[in-house]
Structure formats: structure tokens, C-alpha cells
Structure 1
Amino acid sequence: MSIDLRLSGGTVATPAGNVTADVLVDNEKIVGLVHPSVPAEADRTVDVTGKLVLPGMVDVHVHTREPGFEHKEDIETTSRQAAVGGVTTIFGMPNLNPPTNDVETLNDVFDRYGRTSIVDYNHNPAPTNYDQIQPMAEMGVCAFKIYMVVDTGRTYPHPAGTGMHDHGHLLKMMDLIAKTGKRFIIHPHDQALMDYIEGEYLARGENTPQGYASAYAARSGVIWDTAIDVCLRLAEASGCPIHIAHMQTKRSIEAVRRAKAAGIDVTCEVNHWGPFLSTWDDVERLGPYALSYWVPDEGRNAIWEGMTDGTIDICSSDHAPHTREEKEIGWTQMWSCHTGTPGIQYYYPLLLDAVNRGKLTLERAVSLVATRPAEAFGLRGIKGTIEVGADADLVVADMAAPWTISNDGVLSRCGWTPYDGREITAAIERTFVRGTEVFADGSVVGDPGHGRLATAGAESEKRLATANASGGNN
């Protein structure tokens, strides 16, 4: 037997549990998991003794900023961070210029990924043009994305063409998306309540990071909870599979738990800032650089519980870079600041560190970043797993490699991370995308344009339908 690559001597995280095995790769696929004594002639053998071999992260919530906002980031720089962070597939978001909401803009974005992405990719267009939903689905997208929000005091990061908070229009979107079999990603937000709440803060002159943080978490997160309740009920009414972004309140997590028990096809995610950032101390110390949002302790505790028991299906980065200039204004005019934080480079290592600290099992961490996102978004058996026949998207991690996150190591065009100075205990050493090494020995070695469109094949679609019919949440 002659193969392209053999990873030798590692502990492999498989669907059946951790096993000591060599991973055999040929023609971009995993072709064997064998005992180290089994002979196989390989063009290249990499000794990973003492290391973990993990499936690459499938990050379904990534802001590449291209086209339109390349001064913040672009597809190539995003994919470089992905390679370093063990992310082998990225799904981009539609809040671009022009927004991705029709066949023409989606074609343009796919062309850009194809030319410059180092890792595999897909894109979540906005379903705001109803007649474009089916044609975009036929182009191979795995999901659609909407924002239930209109920005106050700024036009970004939620530009026109990507938002919809009218309930009737949301239901129509769900009816149309349900016919495609794709999942509908929703940024939940009760706009009417937020208009009232933030108006009170602004009237008092509390246009500060603390005021902004408090407004979005006001009344135990009422703007999130009411929006998510609406989304769950509309999903039930339409039969549309939905995915809720930005889980952060106790009540919302409990609502999703009940919805799953009732058979509603809902998945949800927590972003890097939920478990690892956005404490009140972070808000005080980092101000606009910590926001996204403030997560009070009750919400953070519920997040960890949901990550542990499977209510929260997915960890996706919500990688959202902005320049220092766009952040600095937030110290005195937070409602004019571009909110969001970069995160794709460090989320997987932070989760592995959490495993070392006893916050999560390795099995749950792998499910959150790889297995479950692949299942939920139509890539089951293709991405997110180490098994024969799957793409050879592999990460080699050292679970006993302390290091310190630093702005000096940031590959984002924005040049900063809210985790500067944080010490963690696990490191990613190598990343392979379809058997090709894209990160090794501290350097990105993959070529722009290596990435390919990650989309569901017929067999994956069949297995996804079977899993959804049986309520396959794990």
C-alpha cells in the first residue's frame, strides 16, 4: 500500500473515542487508522508521538471583511489565522460591501475565496432577496444568515441588506429556506426593546463601554431572550432548521434546551468571547476592545453548562476584526464604535486549555468545534471527523505546551487580540487541510488558493436528513 502521508505515534480523537493509531492519508482523504506496526509505504511520515491528532475546526461564523472592508481583514489573512488556529473550514458572513444577498455577489465572494483562501470555505448569504434564496442554495451554500438588528449611531457591522426583524418577513424567509433544506443562522435581537433601552442610556449620557455593555445585558438580557423565543416559535411553525448565534443568557439556553426536547430543529453556538472574555473586569480594563458584549456571571455559568451537556452545539469564533482607530472611539462614544473582536486564531487553543483545566472533556471540545458543526451544516462524514473516507483535515496538538498569547503573534490585519498576555497550556503544532500541511513549526506554509468550497454531497445530504429526522443533537 502506497500513500501520501502517515501521521505516526499519536493519540487520535475518533468518533469512537481516543485511540492509539497511525493516520493514513491518500488523495486528500483519510484511508486508514491502523496500529503503528502495520506497514504502509508513505511519501511522507510525520512523527506525532505524545501528541493529540484532532479533527480540524469547522468555523461556521467568520467575518472575513472582504469585499468592502479589507482595511480590517481579508480572506487570505483570515485563512492564515485559521491555519494557525487549527481551523480547516470557514463559513463567511454576508455583512460586506456589497452585502452578499444574491447570485451575483455570492459568485464574486466564492471567486475571491477560490483565489486566496488557504483553508476550505463556504459562505452564508443573507436571504433578504426572496427570489434569490433557491438559486443561492443551488450554488452549494450550507446556510443563510440574517441579523435581527439595525445599528444605532453607525452603519457597520450590520449594514443595510443583511437585516430583518419584522416577524412576518422572518417567517416568509423560513418558509422559503425550509424548501431548500439549508439551515438558517439568526443573530437574535429585539429591535423595539433595544430602541427603548439604549435610548434611556444615551439620554443619560452613558455613551461608554460600561453603558453599552449594561444596555445590551439589561433586565437579564431581555433583548436576546424575547428574540430567541420568537425564532424558536417561528422555526416550529415553518419547519425551518435554525441556528442561533451569540448564546449568552441563562433563560435563552433553557429555552433552546426545551425546544430541542420538543423536537424543534434548532442548533446554537457560543462565540469565543462568551466563555473566555467579556467579564465586567474585561469591560473595565479593555473597554471597546472587549466588546462584542458583556456576559454577566449567571450567563457565563449557563454557557459552560450548555457546552458541557450539549444544549450548546457549536463553538464558532464570530471572528470580527476592527482597526484600533475604529475601537478607540468607543472609550467616549461606544455606540459609534464598531463592535466585535478577532478570535479565529485562538479559539481552539483556548478550548484545549479549558480541557486541561477540567472545564470540558476532550470529547465535548471536539464535538463543539468539529463534529457537530459538520453534522448540522450538511458536511457529516466529509468534514469534522477522523474516520476513513473523510477529508484529511487534521490538527496536531501538544496538550503540555504552555505559552502566552501576545499581540506580537497576531496575524489579523487589525494587529491586536483581547487575549494579549493570557497564558494557556496547550498548543497547536500542525494543521493539515485535505492532507496538505498549511501550518507547521510556527509558520503558515499553505498556499493561497489551496482552499476549496466545502459543500454537502448527496450522501451527506441523505445522512443529514436522517439525523435531523431522528432529532440528532449531541
Structure 2
Amino acid sequence: MSIDLRVSGGRVQLPGGAVDGDLLVNEGKVVGVVSGSVEVADVGRTVDATGKLVLPGMVDVHVHTREPGFTHKEDIHTTSLQAAAGGVTTIFGMPNLNPPTTTAKTLREVFDLYAEKSIVDWNHNPAATQPDEIAPMAAMGVNAYKIYMVVDTGRTYPHPAGTGMHGHGDLLRMMDTIAKTGKRFIIHPHDQSLMDYIEGEYLARGENTPQGYASAYAARNGVIWDTAIEVVLRLAEASGCKVHLAHIQTRRSVEAVRRAREHGVDVTCEVNHWLPFLSTWDDVEKLGPYALSYWVPDDGREAVWEGLRDGTIDMFSSDHAPHTREEKEIGWTQMWSSHTGTPGIQYFYPLALDAVNKGLLTLDRAVELVAGAPAAKFGLQGVKGALTPGCDADFVIADLDAPWTITNEGVLSKIGWTPYDGRQLTAGIEQTYVRGTEVFADGKVTGEAGHGKQAVSGKVQNA
């Protein structure tokens, strides 16, 4: 047998659990896992992973690259730098761009940018706001669509015009349209009418602060999330559309997902980096706009951890959402004018492995959350997310006994900051490979722009 790469001496994570053995890779694909005593006659390169874990690379289906239109914050290349360093081997971009990705034409333009600039593999979730564009975009190999049930108050970003949908009839019509393609429909749930009322109360009292904003979005036990999710799930049942819920963060939402599945609804859901690691009231007090995203009260966070462990919540997705310091600083006194969202793609996988060390998740469950489930639910089963024969050789070499500290100086994003500055972790990513090619090692990104290819059902293809 002739192979390109042998990763020797490590503990390889397979779908049934971790095994001691050597990972064999040829022509960018996993060939298998063999005992270290098995001789292979022709090996192009051997990498020593003794004492380390060999894990599937993360498949991150919720990433804001900011390109085109907002490249002062981030771009595709810098996003992929962080992905490579953080063990993320496939990214799915989001459509809140300028112009927003709503047509086959704008999708082709974005695909061309990925093909030129990305180090890691990629796909893109266009906005499902124009029914006539759904089928043409499906034919281009997208695996999901996205809409926001939200309108920004006091700002025009990060939820720009052209990416939102609020009427129940419009949502049902779009679900009927997407159901015909077999693709998944990602929805940012939000009851805008309730939020208008709740926000108005806070702003009328002059509570335009991080604490006021955090409280408003979590008000009345998360009513703006729960009501929107109940509507989405009922419409999904009525249409047969596969739906995916972003930003799960309340107990009722977790329970609603369980009930919907009992009724046969094909619903998946995600938790983003900020919920398990950055959503306490203490975070809001100390970091203010730099922690928002959202505040999650203790009951919601407890329910989410339960859902992560028992499988109700399918996956981790970063919701990588970079903004400049200037766009954040205004939030100390005018939070509704601050751009919300937090960067996270570079550190989510290490944070998840740190959670394994702390006993919050098993290793099997953590890997399923970051790799197995997103690949399977977003059309990439047998292609990504597992180190089984025939899959792309997307993997990381990780050390669960490698204490280190996250710092702003190590940030590869254009914005130059992370809300995790000073956070001490117990585990780290040492190397990252995309289709058998090293893209990160020894603390440096070694992959080249343009290495990334479009990840589609059944294969990776040139855009």
C-alpha cells in the first residue's frame, strides 16, 4: 500500500470512540486507522502524534466573514486564518453582507472570493428572501439558507435590509419553497413585535447600557426567543421543511425542540461560543459591549448544558461575529447603537476541549458537537466530520494537557481583540490538516489562500 501521510502514535477519535492507532491518509482522504505495528511500504510523510489526540476538524456552519462589504472588520482570508489556528476545517459563511447574498449572481461572486482567499474548505448560507432564487442557488451546491426574524433598532448592522423575514405567511411560503430542494433552513428566531415593545420600555427609561440591552433581550424569561421558536417549529411541521435554529438559549426553547421532534419535525439547533463561555451577568458587567451577543440567565444556561449533554442540542457553531473596537466602545453609553456579536472561531474548539477536561462534556460528545453532527445535518455525511475511510482527511492534533492563556496578541482577526483575553485553558490545538494538507502547526498558519474548496454533498468541488 502507498499512502501520502501517516499520523502515528496518537489516540484517534472515531464515531464509536477513541482508539490507539495510526491514521492513514492518501490523496486527501482517510484510508483507515491501523495499529502502530502495521508496516506500510511507501509513506510520503509521517507525523508523530504520540501522547496526543487526533480529532476530526470542526465543521462550523455559522460564520460571519464580513466579505464583501464590511472588510474593515474581517474578510474571508483572515477568517480562514483563525479557522486553521482553531482547528476549524470547514466554514459556512453567512449572508449579512453588502450586497447581501440573496441571488445566484451574488452567491457566485461570494463563491469566487472563497475560492481565491480561503485556506479551509467552505460553503455559504444565502439569505432566503427571494423565492425564485432558491432553486438556482440549490443547483450551485449550497447546503442551507438563512433568514433573520429581526430588525435592528438604532443601527443598520449586523442585520441589514434584504436578509430578514417576519410575516408568518412569508415564512411558510419560503419553507414550502426550500422543502422542495431538500436543503436546511437556518432561522435566527426573534419576535420583532414583542421586542419593539420591550426595547421601548428600556429606552424610555434611559437604560441604553450593556446591562439594559442584556436584560431586554432576556426579558420575561426569554419571551422573544420562545414565541418565535414555537412559530418556526409549527410552520416547519406544516411544510415539511428541515429547519435549523440559531442561538438556542432558553429552557422553553430546548423543551420546544424536544416536543417538535416527537411530532416528526426535522429540526436541528446550535449553541454558539458565547453561551457556554461568555454569557454570565459577570461577563456583562466586566466586558459590557464586548461580551454581547447575549446575556443568558442561569436557568437558561443550565438547560442548554443539559441539552448539549443529552443530544437535544445538535451542534456547536461559532457565530463568529467580529466588530472593531470603535463599533463596540459606543456601547458603554449607547448599547443599542453598538454592533452586537463577538469573535469566536479561533478559540471555540480549544474552549470545548477545556470543557471536556473540566468534566462538562465527554470527549465523544464534544467531537460530535463540533464535527459529526454539523457534517451529518448539513449534507456532508461521508465527506466531513469523521475520520472514517473515504472521508476528507480534515483533522487536528490536540493536546488535552497543554495549559495556555488566550491573549489579544495572539488574535488573527483584523479586529485585534478577543473577549477571552486572559482566559486560561488546559487544552490546545497543535496542528490542523485540511484534506491531508497541513494548514496550521507550531503556532503558525502554514496553509495558503485558495487551498479551500467548496464542500458540498457527496464531494468537495472547485467553485
The aligned residue for residue 214 of structure 1 is: 215
Cross-structure match for 2:11:
11
Q: Write the deviation string for residues 222-264 of structure 1: whole angstroms up to 9, x where unpaired.
A: 0000000000000000000000000000110111011122221
Aligned to 1:27: 27
Structure-2 separation of matches of 1:236 and 1:129: 22
1:325 aligns with 2:326: yes
2:284 corresponds in structure 1 to 283
Question: Given the alignment of the two structures, is residue 226 of structure 1 paired with residue 227 of structure 2, yes or no?
Answer: yes
Q: Deviations over 1:105-133 (max 9, x none)?
A: 00000000000000000000011111000
SS in 2 for 1:44: strand
Tell me the percent identity: 75
- The residue that corresponds to 1:469 in the other structure is none
Judged with a 3 Å threshold, the aligned counterparts in structure 2 of structure 1 residues 444 and 458 are, in CA distance, closer, same or farther, namely: closer
Tell me the distance in 2 between the aligned counterparts of 1:259 and 1:425: 37
The answer as to whether partners of 2:383 and 2:459 remain within 8 angstroms in 1 is no
CA distance in structure 2 between the partners assigned to 1:7 and 1:221 by the alignment: 47
1:29-68 → structure 2 map (5 Å cutoff): 29-40=29-40, 41-68=42-69
Superposition pairs for residues 73-88 of structure 1, below 5 Å? 73-88=74-89
Aligned to 1:464: none
Amino acid across the alignment from 2:215: S
Matches within 5 A, 1:100-139: 100-139=101-140
Aligned counterparts of 2:420 and 2:191: Cα–Cα separation in 1: 30
> What residue is the counterpart of 1:146 in the other structure?
147
**Do 2:382 and 2:458's aligned partners in 1 also have CA atoms closer than 8 Å?**
no
1:206-285 correspondence to structure 2 within 5 Å: 206-285=207-286
Cα distance in 1 for residues equivalent to 2:4 and 2:70: 39
1:69 aligned counterpart, secondary structure: coil
Amino acid corresponding to residue 383 of structure 1 in structure 2? K
Secondary structure in 1 matching 2:180: helix
* Secondary structure of 1:180's aligned partner: coil
Q: 1:129 to 1:409 in 2, by over 3 A?
A: same
Q: Once the two structures are superposed, what CA deviation does each residue of 1:180-228 show, in whole Å capped at 9, x if it has no partner?
A: 0000000000000000000000011100000000000000000000000
Question: Does the alignment pair 1:429 with 2:430?
Answer: yes
Matched residue, 1:471 = none
Q: In structure 1, what residue type is equivalent to 2:303?
A: A
Residue type of the partner of 2:13? A
Distance 1:450 1:357, change over 3 A: same
1:37 partner letter: S
TM-score by length of 2: 0.98
For these two proteins, the number of residue pairs brought into alignment is: 459
Q: 2:454 aligns to what SS in structure 1?
A: coil
Moved more, 81-90 or 33-42: 33-42
- Return the letter of the residue paired with 1:101: T
Whichever residue aligns with residue 76 of structure 1, its letter is: H
Report the aligned-residue RMSD.
0.9
Aligned mates of 1:262, 1:398 — CA distance in 2: 42
| Structure 2 letter corresponding to 1:181 | G
**In the alignment, what sits opposite 1:417?**
418
Residue 379 of structure 2 is aligned to residue 387 of structure 1 = no
CA distance in 2, matches of 1:160, 1:275: 30
Residue equivalent to 1:363: 364
Amino acid at match of 2:26: D
Aligned to 1:314: 315
What TM-score results when the alignment is normalised by the length of structure 1?
0.96
Residue aligning to 1:157: 158
Aligned AA for 1:23? Answer: L
SS in 2 for 1:454: strand
> 1:342: which partner in 2?
343
1:125-172 deviation digits (Å, cap 9, x = unpaired): 011111000000110000000000000110000000000011100000
Shift of 1:458: 8.4
Q: State how far apart, in whole Å, the 2-side matches of 1:312 and 1:456 are.
A: 23
Deviations 1:276-330 (A, max 9, x none): 0020000010000000100110111111101000000010000000000000000
Structure 1 unaligned residues grouped into runs of 5+: 460-474
The reply on whether 1:297 has 2:294 as its aligned counterpart is: no
Amino acid at match of 1:290: A
CA distance, structure 1, for counterparts of residue 271 and residue 425 of structure 2 = 20
Q: Deviations over 1:38-94 (max 9, x none)?
A: 111211000100000000000000000000000000000000000000000000000
Q: State the Cα distance separating 1:29 from its structure 2 match.
A: 0.2
For 2:118 and 2:439, locate their aligned partners in 1 and report how far apart those are by CA, in whole Å. Answer: 11
Partner Cα distance (2:388, 2:88) in 1: 18
| Counterpart Cα distance in 1 of 2:211 and 2:458 | 47
Q: Which amino acid aligns with 1:27?
A: E
Q: Give the aligned residue type for 2:25.
A: V
Distance 1:277 1:409 in 2: 19
Q: Which amino acid letter does the alignment assign opposite residue 39 of structure 2? A: P
Residue identity opposite 2:404 in structure 1: W
Post-superposition, which runs of at least 4 consecutive aligned residues in structure 1 deviate over 3 A? none
The yes-or-no answer on 1:168 pairing with 2:131 is no
What does residue 355 of structure 2 align with?
A: 354
SS of residue matched to 1:95:
coil
Q: Which residue of 2 aligns with 1:89?
A: 90
Query: For 2:456, what is the secondary structure of its paired residue?
Result: coil
CA contact 2:62–2:91 (8 Å) conserved in 1: yes
Preserved CA contact (<8 Å) 2:143 2:456: yes
Q: CA deviation at 1:454?
A: 0.1
Structure 2 residue ranges without an equivalent (≥5): none
Work out the CA distance in 2 between the residues paired with 1:77 and 1:170: 34
> Alpha-carbon deviation of 1:457?
2.2
Give the secondary-structure state (helix, strand or coil) at the position aligned to 1:379: coil
Name the residue aligned to 2:195: 194
Letter in 2 for 1:31: V
Helix, strand or coil at the partner of 1:66: coil
- Taking the aligned partners of 2:43 and 2:86, their CA distance within structure 1 comes to 27
Question: What is the rounded CA distance, in whole Å, between the counterparts of 1:265 and 1:330 in structure 2?
Answer: 38
d(CA) in 2 for partners of 1:141, 1:258: 29
Deviations for 1:341-381, whole angstroms, at most 9, x for unmatched residues?
00000000000000000000001001100000000001001
Match of 1:448 in 2: 449
Do 2:67 and 2:75's aligned partners in 1 also have CA atoms closer than 8 Å?
yes
